[in-house]
């Protein structure tokens, strides 16, 4: 029976030194029918291993309600079939620019800052979750015929906490539930991160984007023995709504990769292939320096990450530079690069045929409608991804006074007596025009993604304070939530009618007829902000704030002939004749050049709408305005 172990200086396969050349590819960001192609691309780039996180909130949306956990097992089987080893990073927290860092909303709503500590209630939830999750990992370990060679204990814990009792408990739990392959931790190459996040007797690895020698020197001060590994080599970066699209020069990234390997270290490319934040699962960051206490910076739907394999699975310039570097460390000739996935034959416009106002959608698909003394949070209403309608009555008669929302998270579209009155944000939480009583005020608050990194991970969504008219709180608020997964069962019960005049918000229904179904891009010029489904598959959020102006449509989602389309517009749609459409290449907007990124932060730009059309992807770079120099 073969054995993978950690030696004094190297990883060992049956006692023989081996180097891990790994790449991050998250199964939950890639359509399952495309896993084989993407894994083949990793092999062709020169990698011998794939790494994936596991998002707890995706698989346990409510306590004890496990969904599609088997997907991880199928992915690990696909990795084995592709000839790759696998590294699994099960969390419980994963960061990953994913909603709430992978922690379920109900967990952080219940426990707040007690998560990721030795708190007994938190540990009980983790033990239940791992009891289910590890059934997909343990039988697929190396030595049992599977590909799994290492499992992570927590994730970048030294960037967050210092509870060594918790970390040791977690490592012991993994062992007790059958994990026999080497365990490891990963943290930034800084003293406080390594002391807070590593555990004696468990392999420590480092995460960085450049300066490998300096990073490994820091790691060696803490761990004089054991193989060196950069568990996250940040070869690209992610984007925020309203900011520039970030790229990293391909030659610069290749030089940084070469430096890691010249140090005798193993590496995991983060990301080798980024994929897509389908179904509104994109997370958010906070600006504001080390404490991350500044404005919310929601992540875009695309997780292209300027990775060597782009969002559509195509080899980029960075791929070829990396392949050249990695070939020198391969055991033999590299496999041929797999053919590019099929693409849509021809452009096609979406024909919108029906519409339902937001109120009707909420009445049909929403949660309980109840009056609360103060505005409840999303967590209290059991809303993970989606929106909440808060309704207040302003008593009268009274003078016109300012209306202010305290503790607003994300943004709110406001209506006064049924008339649109503005959009409020955390930083601009007062209506421009005063409100005269009596009046009925509605606030439609949308979650733009929970914070996935830093001290404010797990903060509540919605209205965390209250609504003030002048200095007086308005009490007795009616609230009703609409979860995105409420659309999973379909929209047949929604009372659709004719298309509205003037592009009102609401749920639009239509069809797009295609020939030669394959990968495509959906563009929505003139639409403001919302979500799109094709044949019931949620492509994710669109937003005119940019930099992303098109959504990736995986080929397996489309079928030959007619395809059903739903567009949930939350603010302002264009005139009915401006339909969404599939287009040639993903538009990610103006570019910000990135090189040696070493901290989790990014930068603002707006997109200009163009004619809507559904097109086949081109062979050009999918990054609009990308500068690789």
Q: How far apart are CA 265 and CA 232, in angstroms?
A: 12
Task: Provide Rg for the chain, Cα atoms.
Answer: 25
Question: CA dihedral in degrees (393, 395, 398, 400; nearest 10)?
Answer: -10
Residues 6 or more apart whose CB falls under 8 angstroms from that of 138 comprise: 177, 178, 179
- Beta carbons of 283 and 101 less than 8 angstroms apart: yes
Residue-level pLDDT at 601: 32
3-state SS, 95-149, equals CCCEHHHHCCHHHHHHHHHHCCCCCHHHHHHHHHHHHHHHHHHHHHECCCCCCEE
Question: Where do the CATH 3.20.20.80 domains begin and end in the chain?
Answer: 4-236+244-327
Residue-level pLDDT at 452: 98
Is residue 451 scored above 50 in pLDDT? yes
Residue-level pLDDT at 247: 97
Angstrom distances, CA of residue 28 to CA of 54, 234, 293 = 8, 20, 29
DSSP letter at 67 equals: -
Q: How far apart are CA 544 and CA 526, in angstroms?
A: 8
Q: How far apart are CA 422 and CA 414, in angstroms?
A: 5
For the stretch 115-157, pLDDT in tens is 999 999 999 999 999 999 999 999 999 999 999 999 999 999 9
Question: Where do the CATH 2.60.120.260 domains begin and end in the chain?
Answer: 343-353+500-629, 359-485
User: What backbone torsions phi and psi does residue 134 show, to the nearest 5 degrees?
Assistant: -65, -15
Quickly tell me which residue has 């090189």 as its tokens.
Answer: 595
What average pLDDT does the segment 530-552 reach? 96
Please say if 569 is a catalytic residue: no
Residue 550 CB neighbour total at 10 angstroms: 28
What average pLDDT does the segment 14-27 reach? 98
Helix (H, G, I), strand (E, B) or coil at 299: strand
3-state SS, 336-356, equals CCCCCCCECCCCEECEEEEEE
Q: How far apart are CA 594 and CA 603, in angstroms?
A: 11
Residue-level pLDDT at 582: 77
Please say if 136 is a catalytic residue: no
Angstrom distances, CA of residue 234 to CA of 69, 85, 145, 306, 425 = 28, 21, 31, 10, 31
For the stretch 229-285, pLDDT in tens is 999 999 999 999 999 999 999 999 999 999 999 999 999 999 999 999 999 999 999
Q: The whole model's pTM is what?
A: 0.94
Is residue 366 scored above 60 in pLDDT? yes
Catalytic site residue from 60, 156, 459, 584:
156
For the stretch 427-442, pLDDT in tens is 999 999 999 999 999 9
Mean pLDDT, the chain, integer: 93
Question: Which tokens in the block code for residue 326?
Answer: 């990695």
Residues 6 or more apart whose CB falls under 8 angstroms from that of 262 comprise: none
Residue-level pLDDT at 608: 27
- Confidence tier at 97 by pLDDT (50, 70, 90): very high
Strand-strand pairing, 386-394 and 439-446: antiparallel
For the stretch 183-214, pLDDT in tens is 999 999 999 999 999 999 999 999 999 999 99
What average pLDDT does the segment 175-179 reach? 98
- Confidence tier at 300 by pLDDT (50, 70, 90): very high
For the stretch 476-502, pLDDT in tens is 999 999 999 999 999 999 999 999 988
CATH for 4-236+244-327, options being 2.40.160.60, 3.40.50.720, 3.30.70.330, 3.20.20.80: 3.20.20.80
- Confidence tier at 597 by pLDDT (50, 70, 90): very low
- Confidence tier at 615 by pLDDT (50, 70, 90): low
Q: How far apart are CA 467 and CA 470, in angstroms?
A: 10
- Beta carbons of 238 and 305 less than 8 angstroms apart: yes
- Beta carbons of 86 and 49 less than 8 angstroms apart: yes
Residue-level pLDDT at 588: 66
Hey, what CATH topology would domain 359-485 get? Jelly Rolls (2.60.120)
- Confidence tier at 289 by pLDDT (50, 70, 90): confident
Residues 6 or more apart whose CB falls under 8 angstroms from that of 608 comprise: none
What average pLDDT does the segment 343-362 reach? 94
Catalytic site residue from 136, 154, 232, 587:
232
Residue 239 CB neighbour total at 10 angstroms: 30
Question: 285, 291, 294, 302: which is closest to 236 by C-alpha?
Answer: 302
Residue-level pLDDT at 503: 87
Q: Which CATH architecture has domain 343-353+500-629?
A: Sandwich (2.60)
For the stretch 163-172, pLDDT in tens is 999 999 999 9
What average pLDDT does the segment 326-345 reach? 95
Is residue 9 scored above 50 in pLDDT? yes
Residue-level pLDDT at 593: 58
What average pLDDT does the segment 462-470 reach? 96
- Beta carbons of 197 and 163 less than 8 angstroms apart: no
- Confidence tier at 624 by pLDDT (50, 70, 90): very low
- Beta carbons of 458 and 100 less than 8 angstroms apart: yes
């Amino acid at each position: 029976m073969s054995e993978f172990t950690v030696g004094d200086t190297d990883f060992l396969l049956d006692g023989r030194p081996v180097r891990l050349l790994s790449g991050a590819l998250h199964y939950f960001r890639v359509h399952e029918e495309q896993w084989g192609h993407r894994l083949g691309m990793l092999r062709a780039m020169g990698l011998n291993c794939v790494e994936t996180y596991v998002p707890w909130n995706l698989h346990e949306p409510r306590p004890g309600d496990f969904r599609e956990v088997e997907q991880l097992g199928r992915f690990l089987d696909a990795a084995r079939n592709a000839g790759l080893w696998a590294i699994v990073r099960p969390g419980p927290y994963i960061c990953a620019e994913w909603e709430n860092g992978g922690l379920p909303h109900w967990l952080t709503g219940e426990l707040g800052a007690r998560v990721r500590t030795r708190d007994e209630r938190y540990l009980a939830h983790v033990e239940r979750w791992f009891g289910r999750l590890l059934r997909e990992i343990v039988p697929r370990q190396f030595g049992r015929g599977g590909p799994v060679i290492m499992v992570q204990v927590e994730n970048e814990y030294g960037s967050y906490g210092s509870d060594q009792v918790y970390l040791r408990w977690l490592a012991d739990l993994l062992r007790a539930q059958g994990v026999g392959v080497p365990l490891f931790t990963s943290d930034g190459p800084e003293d406080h991160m390594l002391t807070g996040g590593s555990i004696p007797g468990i392999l420590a690895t480092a995460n960085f984007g450049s300066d490998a020698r300096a990073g490994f020197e820091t790691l060696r001060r803490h761990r004089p023995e054991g193989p060196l590994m950069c568990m996250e080599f940040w070869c690209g970066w992610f984007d925020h709504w309203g900011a520039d699209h970030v790229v990293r020069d391909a030659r610069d990234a290749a030089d940084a990769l070469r430096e890691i390997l010249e140090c005798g270290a193993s590496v995991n490319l983060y990301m080798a292939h980024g994929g897509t934040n389908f179904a509104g699962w994109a997370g958010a960051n906070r600006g504001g320096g080390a404490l991350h206490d500044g404005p919310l910076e929601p992540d875009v739907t695309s997780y292209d990450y300027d990775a060597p394999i782009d969002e559509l699975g195509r080899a980029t310039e960075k791929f070829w530079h990396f392949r050249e570097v990695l070939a020198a460390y391969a055991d033999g000739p590299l496999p041929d690069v797999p053919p590019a996935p099929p693409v849509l034959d021809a452009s096609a416009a979406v024909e919108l045929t029906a519409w339902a106002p937001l109120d009707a959608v909420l009445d049909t698909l929403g949660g309980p409608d109840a009056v609360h003394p103060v505005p409840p949070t999303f967590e209290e209403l059991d809303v993970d991804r989606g929106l909440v309608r808060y309704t207040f009555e302003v008593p009268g008669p009274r003078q016109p006074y300012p209306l202010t929302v305290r503790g607003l998270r994300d943004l709110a579209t406001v209506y006064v007596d049924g008339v649109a009155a503005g959009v409020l944000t955390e930083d601009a939480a007062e209506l421009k025009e005063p409100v005269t009583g009596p009046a009925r005020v509605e606030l439609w608050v949308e979650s733009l993604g929970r914070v996935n990194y830093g001290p404010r991970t797990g903060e509540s969504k919605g209205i965390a304070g209250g609504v003030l008219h002048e200095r007086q709180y308005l009490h007795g608020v009616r609230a009703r939530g609409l979860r995105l997964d409420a659309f999973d069962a379909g929209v047949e019960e929604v009372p659709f009618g004719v298309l509205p005049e003037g592009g009102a918000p609401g749920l639009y229904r239509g069809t797009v007829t295609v020939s030669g179904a394959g990968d495509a891009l959906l563009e929505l010029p003139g639409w403001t902000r919302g979500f799109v489904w094709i044949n019931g598959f949620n492509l994710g959020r669109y937003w005119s704030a940019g930099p992303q102006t098109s959504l990736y449509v995986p080929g397996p989602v489309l079928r030959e002939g007619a395809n059903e389309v739903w567009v949930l517009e939350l603010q302002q749609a264009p005139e009915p004749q401006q339909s969404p459409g599939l287009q040639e290449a993903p538009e990610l907007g103006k570019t910000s050049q990135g090189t040696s990124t070493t901290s989790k932060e990014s930068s603002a730009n707006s997109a200009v709408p163009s004619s809507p059309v559904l097109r086949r992807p081109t062979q050009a770079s999918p990054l609009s305005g990308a500068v690789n120099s």
